[in-house]
């Protein structure tokens, strides 16, 4: 079979809107009757559940932001009592309390289905051996991939993240055909294999499903070339279920599981909807979940929604690669810059490795940026002059493409911390 769930993956727009409308109506009623936070927010807008009759009414509904989750930590936004929960995950929450992600048994089934759709679209089949190198635990990545792979029925090697030498050994000895990991960890594995003298391109590995952090097309191509595989993408967030919100198909486009998670793109300043095809901030409404469905959740992720026929045959709306989180946006000399834009240029120059960090600091009143990056081996072999030339080349590329002056320093090999999960790209010294 070509699709995991043909009915929903190829549904025509009119039917999809009808389906989404029904689910939204149910969810709004569910929340109004069970969650004080949403009842209050709707009452303040003079809204009753009956005012929401179709998905087009979504714009009337209140927003949910990350702080609402913190203020209601851990379970005040939960619509079911604890004894009806089947699972609780939590996101790292870089500062303060984590964000909780509770699931009912049915929410778990939906998640597994969304992840099975993802992996199936990316070519995972029952006869595959899947090495799951996402962190297994409270983080939704590891178990989300596990559940999807279990639905498909492939053989799972739950290697978890870390112990990279052993990851390489397992790839060799168990002969995984699929790898699940963050893009930066896939790169760490590739690099370690190279230094161990193992050529992953000669192993049975053929696909990777990467996600949980922003990465560029250039980075994807780098991983593909070094491992001799096809690298696919999964996107998601704890607040909506974890991975499985959107997935890349064989055409490389990211389809949103919009029958479960309804996406909107809004202007981050005015919070008004922008026309399809316009960049803005992604908001999601969980229209089928029951433990803690959120209305119009502000992700802070910047992207564009596109509804265009995809050659894979799926009609699910597509989103462009995430440019970054609005929190990670830097303003350098008055220009907005995302780490991912710098990453493309680092790889574009052809002299550097995708191992970098961006140091942001104050120079007088202004924010300044220094790009610290490791170069390709041949650059180091060329001595100080080759290194200086590589630095100049990247500096010039950033100046001519983004229009900002930055410092560039090629650090000695091995200076940048190797990622085992989500890479930390920005060091803020302001």
Instruction: Give the binding site for ligand ADP (CB under 6 A).
Output: 91-93, 140, 211-214, 233, 235-238, 299, 301, 322, 325
Q: Give phi and psi for 288, each to the nearest 5.
A: -125, -10
Q: Which distant-in-sequence residues (6+ apart) come within 8 Å of 61 by Cβ?
A: 28, 42, 47, 52, 285, 295, 296
Work out how close the CB of 196 gets to ligand ADP at its nearest, in angstroms, rounded to a whole number.
Answer: 28
Q: Which is nearer to ligand ADP, 191 or 301 (CB)?
A: 301
Residue 112 binding partner per list Zn ion, ligand ADP, none, with a CB distance cut-off of 5 to 8 Å that depends on partner kind: none
Work out how close the CB of 313 gets to Zn ion at its nearest, in angstroms, rounded to a whole number.
Answer: 7
Residue 251 binding partner per list Zn ion, ligand ADP, none, with a CB distance cut-off of 5 to 8 Å that depends on partner kind: Zn ion
Residue 2 binding partner per list Zn ion, ligand ADP, none, with a CB distance cut-off of 5 to 8 Å that depends on partner kind: none
Q: What radius of gyration do the chain's Cα atoms show?
A: 22
Residue 213 binding partner per list Zn ion, ligand ADP, none, with a CB distance cut-off of 5 to 8 Å that depends on partner kind: ligand ADP
Q: Give phi and psi for 304, each to the nearest 5.
A: -135, 140
| Token output for 2 | 């070509």
Q: Give phi and psi for 301, each to the nearest 5.
A: -85, 135
Distances (CA, A) of 61 to 25, 243, 296, 355: 11, 25, 7, 42
Largest CA-CA distance found in the chain, in angstroms, rounded: 72
Q: Which is nearer to Zn ion, 308 or 430 (CB)?
A: 308
Q: Which is nearer to Zn ion, 253 or 422 (CB)?
A: 253
Q: Is 251 in the site for Zn ion (CB under 5 A)?
A: yes
Q: Which is nearer to ligand ADP, 42 or 212 (CB)?
A: 212
3-state secondary structure of 248: strand
Work out how close the CB of 182 gets to ligand ADP at its nearest, in angstroms, rounded to a whole number.
Answer: 9
Work out how close the CB of 365 gets to ligand ADP at its nearest, in angstroms, rounded to a whole number.
Answer: 30
Q: How far apart are CA 254 and CA 312, in angstroms?
A: 11
Angle (nearest 5°) at CA 408 between 403 and 411: 155
Q: Which is nearer to ligand ADP, 49 or 242 (CB)?
A: 242
Work out how close the CB of 42 gets to ligand ADP at its nearest, in angstroms, rounded to a whole number.
Answer: 25
Distances (CA, A) of 353 to 102, 136, 165, 191, 397: 39, 28, 20, 10, 16
| Token output for 28 | 């709004």
CB 280 within 8 A of CB 304: yes
Work out how close the CB of 297 gets to ligand ADP at its nearest, in angstroms, rounded to a whole number.
Answer: 10
Residue 118 binding partner per list ligand ADP, Zn ion, none, with a CB distance cut-off of 5 to 8 Å that depends on partner kind: none
Work out how close the CB of 3 gets to Zn ion at its nearest, in angstroms, rounded to a whole number.
Answer: 10
Q: Which is nearer to ligand ADP, 326 or 333 (CB)?
A: 326
Distances (CA, A) of 422 to 13, 243, 246, 385: 35, 14, 18, 33
Q: Is 232 in the site for Zn ion (CB under 5 A)?
A: no
Q: Which is nearer to Zn ion, 256 or 346 (CB)?
A: 256
CA nearest 88: which of 96, 29, 73?
A: 73
10 Å Cβ neighbour count for 1?
Answer: 6
Instruction: Pick from 47, 90, 149, 249 the residue near Zn ion by CB under 5 A.
Output: 249
Strands 318-319 and 254-256: antiparallel
Work out how close the CB of 275 gets to Zn ion at its nearest, in angstroms, rounded to a whole number.
Answer: 22
Work out how close the CB of 235 gets to ligand ADP at its nearest, in angstroms, rounded to a whole number.
Answer: 4
10 Å Cβ neighbour count for 340?
Answer: 21
Footprint (CB under 5 A) of Zn ion, residues 267-326: 310, 312, 314
Residue 374 binding partner per list ligand ADP, Zn ion, none, with a CB distance cut-off of 5 to 8 Å that depends on partner kind: none
Q: Which is nearer to Zn ion, 156 or 310 (CB)?
A: 310
Q: Which is nearer to Zn ion, 147 or 253 (CB)?
A: 253
How many Cα atoms occupy the beta-carbon half-sphere of 105 within 13 Å? Answer: 2
Residue 310 binding partner per list Zn ion, ligand ADP, none, with a CB distance cut-off of 5 to 8 Å that depends on partner kind: Zn ion
Residue 312 binding partner per list Zn ion, ligand ADP, none, with a CB distance cut-off of 5 to 8 Å that depends on partner kind: Zn ion
CB 218 within 8 A of CB 278: no
Give the residues lining the site for Zn ion (CB under 5 A). 249, 251, 253, 310, 312, 314
């Amino acid at each position: 079979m070509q699709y995991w769930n043909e009915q929903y993956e190829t549904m025509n727009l009119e039917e999809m809107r009808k389906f989404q409308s029904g689910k939204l109506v149910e969810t709004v009623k569910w929340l109004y009757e069970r969650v004080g936070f949403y009842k209050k927010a709707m009452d303040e807008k003079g809204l009753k559940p009956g005012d929401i009759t179709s998905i087009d009414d979504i714009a009337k509904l209140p927003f949910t932001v990350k702080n609402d989750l913190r203020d209601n930590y851990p379970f005040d936004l939960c619509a079911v009592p604890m004894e009806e929960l089947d699972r609780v995950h939590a996101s790292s929450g870089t500062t303060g309390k984590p964000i909780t992600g509770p699931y009912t048994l049915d929410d778990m089934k939906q998640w597994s289905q969304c992840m099975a759709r993802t992996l199936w679209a990316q070519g995972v089949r029952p006869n595959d051996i899947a090495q799951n190198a996402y962190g297994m635990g409270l983080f939704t990545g590891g178990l989300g991939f596990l559940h999807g792979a279990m639905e498909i029925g492939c053989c799972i090697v739950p290697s978890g993240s870390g112990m990279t030498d052993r990851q390489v050994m397992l790839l060799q000895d168990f002969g995984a055909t699929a790898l699940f990991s963050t893009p930066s960890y896939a790169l760490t594995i590739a690099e370690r294999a190279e230094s161990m003298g193992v050529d992953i391109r000669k192993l049975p590995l053929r696909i990777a499903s990467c996600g949980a952090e922003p990465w560029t097309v250039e980075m994807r191509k780098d991983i593909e070339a070094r491992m001799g595989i096809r690298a696919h993408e999964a996107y998601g967030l704890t607040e909506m279920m974890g991975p499985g919100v959107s997935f890349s198909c064989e055409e490389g486009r990211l389809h949103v599981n919009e029958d479960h998670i309804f996406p909107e793109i809004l202007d981050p300043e005015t919070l008004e909807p922008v026309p399809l095809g316009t960049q803005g901030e992604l908001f999601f409404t969980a229209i089928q979940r029951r433990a803690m469905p959120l209305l119009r959740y502000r992700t802070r992720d910047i992207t564009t929604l596109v509804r265009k026929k995809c050659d894979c045959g799926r009609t699910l709306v597509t989103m462009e690669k995430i440019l970054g989180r609005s929190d990670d946006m830097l303003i350098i000399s008055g220009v907005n810059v995302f780490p991912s834009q710098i990453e493309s240029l680092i790889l574009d120059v052809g002299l550097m490795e995708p191992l970098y960090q961006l140091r942001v600091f104050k120079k007088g009143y202004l924010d300044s940026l220094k790009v610290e990056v490791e170069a390709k081996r041949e650059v180091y072999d060329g001595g100080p002059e080759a290194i200086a030339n590589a630095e100049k080349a990247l500096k010039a590329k950033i100046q001519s493409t983004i229009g900002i002056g930055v410092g560039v320093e090629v650090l000695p090999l091995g200076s940048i911390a190797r990622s085992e999960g989500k890479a930390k790209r920005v060091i803020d010294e302001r």
